[in-house]
Amino acid sequence: MIRHLAPLLKAKKILNVTASWLIASTVLAVSSPVVAAQSAVILLYHHVAEDTPASTSISPANFEAHLRYLRDNNFKVIPLDQMIDSLRLGQSLPDKSVVITFDDGYSSIFDEAFPLLQSYGYPFTLFLSTEPIDAGLSNYITWDQVRQMSTAGVIIANHMVDHPYMLEARDNESARQRLARLEEDLLKAEQRIEAQTGQSHRYLAYPYGEYEPAIKSLLEELNFVGLAQNSGAVGPKSDFLALPRFPLASIYANLETASTKFSTLPFSVTQLQPDSPVTSNRNPSVVLKFEIGDYDFDQIGCFANSKPIPMTWIDREQGVLELKPEERYLGRRWRYICTAPDPNSNRYYWYSMQWINLN
């Protein structure tokens, strides 16, 4: 897929930098011309370190290269709440808007990422699992550090108490009991974050990016926004119970490919069937409905593992497309990705579907 999209994709320690961060934010806002748009891209990071698992890590040098690229190429890094509120209300955002998020609460976020982001004047959101911090686990930030970031304007949000596999029941636990347990843990984490920081945004980043319709319904009942890990851009018609984010770690942190993701645009697309990402198949078929947009239906390509997926137009005039993969996919999670070039720029429309096989 990357070939198809060619050419795709220790800073200063924290002292008195909060003021300079706010000043830099103001300068960026005043000096940069703003073009109206109704889309944004959410970036996802975990560790900013060189001695942590590669699958969830980006080096400090590469992370700063991302920030430098965003600055030098006229991206507007905005807070997550601004993005969510504006898109839900149908309001405009600056063109090439980007939101930066971190999951879990690792110590390198405070030690490495936080000072770098302050030096660039960039806001960000930190999704915390509260139990590792309460337990004082090594390699995790402390509540004192969380409060320092909160005071500096960082959005602190929910990643459950103990980072569970939300789809998995405990021994002799019914589906109803599992959902009741998840609700209790979700609200407990929200209350703990509010007690420590005064913040309660009711945003949940799904641990491992895993969810199902019943969990989305739970979030809707509790008035939460859900954030997933299936890649793509966000628009007014996105699913606010499973907003896409681009995970950027390991080979996916490469600036050449990441830079294309930074500027992607959202398809207006509905997944007609199946309605759940949880599957017992290793190559599930899927039916999508693309609304008419600036993209050309004939230029839509869909991929998995960088290989094209066979596609059949069920109703081209209505934008109804079926994907019927022939390859069987391994692992617990994998994605199908659909893209199309924007005829008015060198940007791409991007939509992905995540699949979860619990076996």
Pairing outcome for strands 40-45 and 233-234: antiparallel
- Paired tokens of 353: 């579907």
Using CB atoms within 10 Å of the CB of residue 170, give its burial: 0 to 12 exposed, 13 to 18 middle, 19+ buried. exposed
What's the confidence (pLDDT) of residue 18? 40
CATH 3.20.20.370 placement within the chain: 18-263
What is the band of 35 on the pLDDT scale with cuts at 50, 70, 90?
low
What is the band of 223 on the pLDDT scale with cuts at 50, 70, 90?
very high
- The pTM score is 0.90
What does the pLDDT average to over 230-251? 97
pLDDT at 19 over 70: no
E runs forming strands in 32-121: 36-37, 40-45, 47-48, 57-58, 76-77, 93-94, 97-104
pLDDT at 32 over 90: no
Give the C-alpha separation, 173 to 166, whole Å.
13
CATH class of 18-263: alpha beta
pLDDT at 29 over 80: no
What's the confidence (pLDDT) of residue 92? 95
Give the C-alpha separation, 134 to 195, whole Å.
13
Please tell me what DSSP assigns to residue 66: H
Q: pLDDT tens-digit profile of 275-324?
A: 999 999 999 999 999 999 999 999 999 999 999 999 999 999 999 999 99
Q: What angle do CA 54, 215, 288 make, to 5 degrees?
A: 80
What's the confidence (pLDDT) of residue 37? 84
CATH 2.60.40.10 placement within the chain: 271-356
pLDDT at 90 over 90: yes
- Paired tokens of 55: 């699958």
Q: What fold is seen in the domain 271-356? A: Immunoglobulin-like (2.60.40)
Query: How would DSSP label each residue in 174-209?
Result: -HHHHHHHHHHHHHHHHHHHHHHHS----EEEPGGG
Four-point Cα dihedral 208, 290, 337, 281, nearest 10: 70
